[in-house]
């Protein structure tokens, strides 16, 4: 059986990503650095400034779009729009919070440490909103909802079960697909179904990026990695998880 992962943008939410986002938005704000450049040439300039490659800049840009920081399609190869028109309302809020956190970290006191904890909880809510809304499979599937439903039903998912979920579930609340997933997980846990190298033929790093971001949002807990991966529901957000699962 061939396994396929869900689509991912290739970055996990992290302090490093936040630093890169702030560096990118800082360049966009600075007309001396970005003025007169096309998005194509600006990617190369940003890559040099950040010590990375243009492909990584494009990946970060796509992730900023998917997470509702940038308005989709505003950065094109031919032009850079007015800076006030680039960000969504939620995106501007998140960037302000990240900037405040960065300033506090430069002169870290106990008071700043506590304030940074509050900021992190606030922007976690921004990410939760984005993750709840995020779709793939041409808009037919909300991956977070499908993941939470599976974790509620089966208590946990390991590495191979994650890819069974990704392979079988391609539409929201499809009873036939959910029954097929249940049958396959039952066979797998009974030892009647096994997988080896080469079984995953598409989006082979889905187990890193997708549940990693769900864990950052507080929806689930991750233990181990790769073949030792184990995903479970985060009890602190069980009420929210139930609400997401039951939405139609």
Q: Taking all residues of the chain, what is their mean pLDDT, rounded to a whole number? A: 93
Q: For 140-162, what is each residue's pLDDT tens digit? A: 999 999 999 999 999 999 999 99
Separation CA 26–CA 33 (nearest Å) = 9
Say if residue 209 is exposed, middle or buried (CB neighbours under 10 Å; 0-12, 13-18, 19+): buried
Is pTM beyond 0.85? Reply is yes
189 vs 108, which has greater pLDDT?
A: 189
Count the Cβ atoms, other than its own, within 10 Å of residue 19: 13
Separation CA 136–CA 145 (nearest Å) = 12
Instruction: Please give the pLDDT value at position 85.
Output: 80
Q: Averaged over 178-206, what is the pLDDT?
A: 97
190 vs 108, which has greater pLDDT?
A: 190
Element (H, E) at 223: strand 220-223
Instruction: Please give the pLDDT value at position 76.
Output: 78
**pLDDT beyond 90 at 57:** yes
Residue 229 main-chain phi, psi, to 5 deg: -60, 140
Listed in sequence order, the residues at least 6 apart from 171 whose beta carbon sits closer than 8 Å to its beta carbon are: 137, 140, 141, 177
Listed in sequence order, the residues at least 6 apart from 77 whose beta carbon sits closer than 8 Å to its beta carbon are: 38, 39, 40
Listed in sequence order, the residues at least 6 apart from 32 whose beta carbon sits closer than 8 Å to its beta carbon are: none
164 vs 116, which has greater pLDDT?
A: 164
Choose among 13, 212, 207, 26: nearest CA to 127. 13
């Amino acid at each position: 059986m061939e396994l396929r992962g869900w689509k991912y943008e290739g970055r996990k939410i992290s302090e490093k990503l936040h630093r890169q986002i702030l560096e990118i938005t800082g360049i966009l704000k600075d007309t001396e650095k970005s003025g007169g450049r096309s998005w194509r040439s600006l990617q190369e300039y940003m890559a040099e400034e950040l010590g990375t490659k243009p492909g990584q800049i494009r990946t970060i840009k796509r992730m900023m779009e998917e997470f509702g920081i940038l308005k989709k399609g505003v950065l094109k190869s031919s032009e850079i729009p007015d800076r006030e028109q680039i960000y969504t309302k939620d995106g501007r809020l998140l960037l302000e919070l990240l900037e405040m956190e960065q300033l506090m970290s430069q002169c870290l006191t106990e008071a700043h440490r506590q304030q940074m904890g509050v900021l992190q909880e606030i922007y976690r809510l921004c990410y939760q909103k984005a993750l709840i809304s995020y779709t793939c499979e041409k808009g037919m599937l909300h991956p977070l909802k499908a993941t939470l439903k599976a974790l509620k039903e089966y208590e946990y998912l390991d590495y191979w079960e994650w890819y069974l979920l990704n392979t079988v579930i391609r539409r929201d609340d499809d009873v036939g697909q959910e029954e097929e997933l249940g049958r396959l997980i039952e066979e797998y846990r009974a030892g009647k179904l096994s997988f080896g190298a080469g079984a995953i033929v598409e989006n082979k790093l889905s187990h890193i990026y997708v549940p990693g971001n769900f864990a950052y949002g507080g929806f689930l807990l991750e233990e181990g990695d790769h073949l030792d991966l184990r995903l479970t529901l985060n009890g602190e957000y069980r009420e929210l998880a139930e609400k997401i699962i039951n939405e139609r």
